[in-house]
A and B are shown apart, each in its own frame.
Chain A
């Protein structure tokens, strides 16, 4: 009698009873359903509510097309710039020892802690009317605020850490042995970088670019502050969603939102594929 009791007690002490387990699973899934899945489903539902005709129309009208084009341009400029920065930063941080390295890593992560609205504001304070750096561009015809350069700057700021933060731990894990070998066999610095380091980190690089691009195309707050919301000119896709929504043109707003949501789903799918197919080639934190 006492043995059965203690065996039973032992069993329930390392896992939960079946009923408890089902309750916990149900609770977690209900939470995810209410806060993650339903919002996603509702985007597509609202977008298609008035039929496919309205949907297609909302996406092909000139202002919508201009917004899609501007988003592609802004991401097309900011992502490569942050890619080059991420590789340079990771090379310096992961392959060398120097004082102040921890501080540098913290500073690279800094944009993630800054409110998107503040990220937009800082460039208005610089280049807006009577901005403290406005003198730099006063004699040229370049307009930064309420124009493409401002949108690109704000996008670069909010996506600043993505590539670097993926590459730094990965390159630290990989060490410098491969590069040392290449150099000792007579390769020069660039050859070593192109033929040894870059292939070693290619999946991690792709992973970082994927997340960087998703954020770049979807950024709202920072871009909203510097854009000026000029329809057909300085409206990105997320800003276009806001304008349509505030005009109570819900079907069109959700149509544009559904394109952004599809982009998010594509990003998640590719991310998950990278994690399962090339998990060993990603930094430790993404291994599954």
Chain B
């Protein structure tokens, strides 16, 4: 697989050239336009728009709900992945297929379905309302929608790592006298951590920008339950392109930072995998 043997194949310039042109035309140039448009406004105006209370509360809400939902997904997603990898139960294959439902179901459909369920007269909401718990049309509803959207990110990131994990490591820990809880805390969790954080970051990044599933259940009250993407839509409808552009630029910066974090986490996760495998080898050797 040296450089020369690879480049013996034809079509490199055509394929790369087409890739770069298409990527630039569809993605890079249009995205850059947001920053050019924002730059035209000047720093003072950008700053004024960003620190207006409505923009700040929208960004905080999108950020905060995405963070909470991603944290909950990290916990429940790991539980789901654990149960699927380690245990057998009826209907497992069906459930396993259904985990990807949020990837396949259009967000608007998820949005109206969750609203119907968690509204005061819905299948779930009617049991919660007498207890004084309101979900639909409050920020809690946003978290519910983001839980739905983010779940497969955590499950599908943690699952393969859990499946590849050497059972010998756990046996070794147990034979050395560790309790099950100690094994989980000191052996399993540290090896799981990189993939868990990656899944968390993926769910979080998706949640910050999510629109379709959220707007139906959120209630969309300015300052209370109005997410940042919705504020962009509202500004556009008011023909306030400057306002929309600045919020969009802020969200893009967040997205780029998240992309960087996710890439670093994945690189860490891959290194971790290699190290774990080399760690597991002597253990297996000792057993034989």
Also in contact, A28 and B19, with CB within 8 A (given A14-B171, A269-B97): no
Also in contact, A88 and B19, with CB within 8 A (given A21-B87, A27-B79, A29-B95): yes
Distance in Å from the Cβ of A192 to the closest Cβ of chain B?
8
A66 within 8 A of B: no
Chain B neighbourhood of A261, CB < 8 A: 105, 109
Chain A neighbourhood of B84, CB < 8 A: 28
> Residue-by-residue, is A112-152 near B (CB-CB < 8 Å gives 1, otherwise 0)?
01111110011111101000110000000000000000000
> In the complex the two chains form, is B113's CB within 8 Å of A42's CB?
yes
> In the complex the two chains form, is B31's CB within 8 Å of A40's CB?
no
The total of interchain contacts (Cβ-Cβ below 8 angstroms) comes to: 295
Which residue in chain B gives the minimum CB-CB distance to A197? B9
Chain A neighbourhood of B142, CB < 8 A: none
> In the complex the two chains form, is A125's CB within 8 Å of B34's CB?
yes
A180 within 8 A of B: yes
Also in contact, A126 and B19, with CB within 8 A (given A38-B117, A116-B211, A238-B108): no
Residue among B6, B27, B123 making CB contact with A160, cutoff 8 Å: B27
Give the contacts of B75-133 with A (CB-CB under 8 A): 76, 79-80, 82-84, 86-87, 89, 93, 95, 97-110, 112-114, 116-117, 122-124
**Which of B43-51, B228-236, B270-278 is near enough to bind chain A?**
B228-236
A179 within 8 A of B: yes
Chain A neighbourhood of B230, CB < 8 A: 117
Give the contacts of B5-25 with A (CB-CB under 8 A): 5-12, 14-16, 18-19, 22-23
Size of the A side of the interface (Cβ < 8 Å), in residues, is 99
Distance in Å from the Cβ of B150 to the closest Cβ of chain A?
10
The DSSP consensus for interface residues of chain A is helix
Residue among A38, A188, A257 making CB contact with B108, cutoff 8 Å: A257
> In the complex the two chains form, is B112's CB within 8 Å of A257's CB?
yes
Chain B neighbourhood of A36, CB < 8 A: 98-99, 101-102, 148, 151
Distance in Å from the Cβ of A15 to the closest Cβ of chain B?
8
Also in contact, A35 and B15, with CB within 8 A (given A218-B105, A264-B104): no
B224 within 8 A of A: no
Distance in Å from the Cβ of A250 to the closest Cβ of chain B?
8
Q: How far is the CA of A153 from the CA of B114 in the complex (A)?
A: 29
> In the complex the two chains form, is B232's CB within 8 Å of A118's CB?
yes
> Residue-by-residue, is A244-288 near B (CB-CB < 8 Å gives 1, otherwise 0)?
010000100110010011001101110110000000000001000
> In the complex the two chains form, is B205's CB within 8 Å of A113's CB?
yes
Give the contacts of B183-201 with A (CB-CB under 8 A): 183
Also in contact, A95 and B6, with CB within 8 A (given A36-B151, A115-B208, A189-B11): yes
Chain A neighbourhood of B141, CB < 8 A: none
Contact count band on B: 35 or more
> In the complex the two chains form, is B233's CB within 8 Å of A189's CB?
no
**Which of A5-13, A55-63, A201-209 is near enough to bind chain B?**
A5-13
Residue among A117, A125, A218, A225 making CB contact with B33, cutoff 8 Å: A125
Chain B neighbourhood of A128, CB < 8 A: 241
> In the complex the two chains form, is B113's CB within 8 Å of A85's CB?
no
> In the complex the two chains form, is B98's CB within 8 Å of A37's CB?
yes
Chain A neighbourhood of B245, CB < 8 A: 121, 125
Also in contact, A38 and B124, with CB within 8 A (given A14-B174, A126-B30, A217-B106): yes
Give the contacts of A11-43 with B (CB-CB under 8 A): 12-16, 21, 24-25, 27-29, 31-32, 34-40, 42-43
Q: How far is the CA of A239 from the CA of B215 in the complex (A)?
A: 13
Chain A neighbourhood of B286, CB < 8 A: none
> Residue-by-residue, is A166-180 near B (CB-CB < 8 Å gives 1, otherwise 0)?
000000000110011
> In the complex the two chains form, is A28's CB within 8 Å of B109's CB?
no
B160 within 8 A of A: yes
B218 within 8 A of A: no
Most A CB atoms within 10 A — which of B16, B30, B210? B30
> In the complex the two chains form, is A260's CB within 8 Å of B256's CB?
no
A183 within 8 A of B: yes
> In the complex the two chains form, is B82's CB within 8 Å of A24's CB?
yes
Some 17 contacts from A to B, beta carbons below 8 A apart, are A10-B174, A14-B180, A14-B183, A28-B83, A35-B144, A40-B113, A85-B18, A113-B205, A114-B255, A115-B229, A122-B33, A157-B26, A183-B9, A183-B10, A214-B104, A238-B107, A245-B216
Query: Which residues of A does B touch, CB under 8 Å?
Result: 9-10, 12-16, 21, 24-25, 27-29, 31-32, 34-40, 42-43, 46, 85, 88-89, 91-93, 95-98, 104, 106-111, 113-118, 121-126, 128, 132-133, 153, 156-157, 160, 175-176, 179-180, 183, 188-189, 192-193, 211, 214, 217-221, 224-225, 237-239, 241-242, 245, 250, 253-254, 257, 260-261, 264-265, 267-269, 271-272, 285
What are the 8 A-B residue pairs with the smallest beta carbon separation, nearest first? A115-B209, A218-B106, A13-B174, A189-B10, A220-B212, A221-B211, A39-B113, A117-B229
Inter-chain pairs besides A183-B8, A218-B107, 10 sampled, C-beta below 8 Å: A85-B19, A93-B19, A97-B6, A98-B12, A113-B205, A113-B209, A189-B11, A237-B106, A238-B106, A245-B112
